[in-house]
């Protein structure tokens, strides 16, 4: 069976399902809420008035509090579709290979994550342009695009093992959600210690995206940490294959 067909099927299965709408709504709300925070005055100047504050804050606050849980929710929802709808028995006799199907689901989740980050980027960029158009530079915009994309993909890798574990457990989506939230939330404190922050996958994503000022060693550690997350995910998926 071609991967293309599996990806097509995964996209098809999401029709009328409100997961995409909810994820989209979450991103819009992040933009709104961070803007609300930008109204806070510090020495007589509102945060949003500072150039690039909004784009930076939306990326970091969104990535720390909201988006990992939303990615986990989306990923586990997509992975557990067959369990929920009891379609696995029909798919098994097609035959569809479970590991390949799960890989397709993983790719779809990555694409959704990327789309969410790009939407957030577009919203914040537009707002930033309205607020301080003269200060926008092409190189600045480019560096933000890069940051958003890498942050999105890195965070996706950081959350992947949780999605994979949820796939292993029946009804693991509740746990995945809570766990992803605790996991990203803990990054607030982990970030305080430089080495741990380079290793801890959520903060590693910030290192890799260039949000944190990073030394080459830290960068290497972060890349390794995220690579381990990816490998771990693949290993868990591989185990699923053996179980099936």
Is residue 7 close enough to count as binding another protein by CB under 8 A?
no
Is residue 107 close enough to count as binding another protein by CB under 8 A?
no
Q: How far is the CB of 19 from another protein (least distance, A)?
A: 6
Is residue 78 close enough to count as binding another protein by CB under 8 A?
no
Nearer to another protein, 38 or 152 (CB): 38
Nearer to another protein, 65 or 232 (CB): 65
CB neighbour burial string for 96-128, b if at least 16 within 10 angstroms, e if fewer? bebeebbbbbbebbbebbeebbebbbebbbebb
Is residue 43 close enough to count as binding another protein by CB under 8 A?
no
Q: Interface residues for another protein in 186-205 (CB under 8 A)?
A: 186, 188-189, 192-193
Is residue 178 close enough to count as binding another protein by CB under 8 A?
yes
Is residue 219 close enough to count as binding another protein by CB under 8 A?
no
Q: How far is the CB of 163 from another protein (least distance, A)?
A: 15
Q: Which residues bind another protein (CB under 8 A)?
A: 1, 5-6, 8-9, 12-13, 15-19, 22-23, 25-26, 29-30, 33-34, 36-37, 39-40, 61, 65-66, 69-70, 73, 77, 81, 85-96, 171, 173-175, 177-178, 181-182, 185-186, 188-189, 192-193
């Amino acid at each position: 069976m071609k991967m293309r067909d599996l990806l097509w099927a995964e996209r098809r299965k999401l029709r009328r399902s409100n997961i995409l709408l909810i994820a989209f709504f979450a991103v819009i709300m992040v933009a709104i809420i961070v803007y609300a925070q930008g109204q806070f005055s510090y020495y007589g100047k509102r945060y949003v008035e500072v150039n690039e504050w909004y784009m930076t804050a939306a990326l970091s606050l969104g990535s720390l509090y909201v988006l990992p849980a939303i990615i986990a929710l989306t990923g586990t929802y997509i992975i557990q579709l067959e369990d929920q709808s009891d379609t696995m028995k029909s798919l098994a006799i097609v035959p569809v290979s479970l590991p390949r199907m799960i890989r397709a689901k993983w790719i779809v989740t990555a694409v959704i994550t990327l789309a969410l980050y790009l939407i957030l980027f577009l919203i914040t960029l537009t707002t930033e342009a309205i607020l301080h158009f003269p200060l926008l530079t092409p190189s600045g915009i480019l560096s933000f695009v890069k940051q958003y994309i890498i942050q999105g993909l890195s965070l996706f890798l950081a959350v992947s093992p949780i999605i994979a574990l949820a796939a292993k457990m029946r009804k693991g989506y509740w746990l995945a959600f809570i766990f992803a939230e605790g996991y990203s939330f803990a990054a607030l404190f982990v970030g305080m210690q430089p080495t741990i922050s380079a290793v801890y996958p959520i903060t590693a994503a910030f290192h890799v995206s260039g949000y944190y000022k990073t030394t080459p060693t830290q960068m290497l550690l972060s890349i390794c940490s995220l690579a381990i997350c990816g490998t771990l995910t693949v290993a868990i998926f591989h185990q699923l294959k053996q179980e099936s």
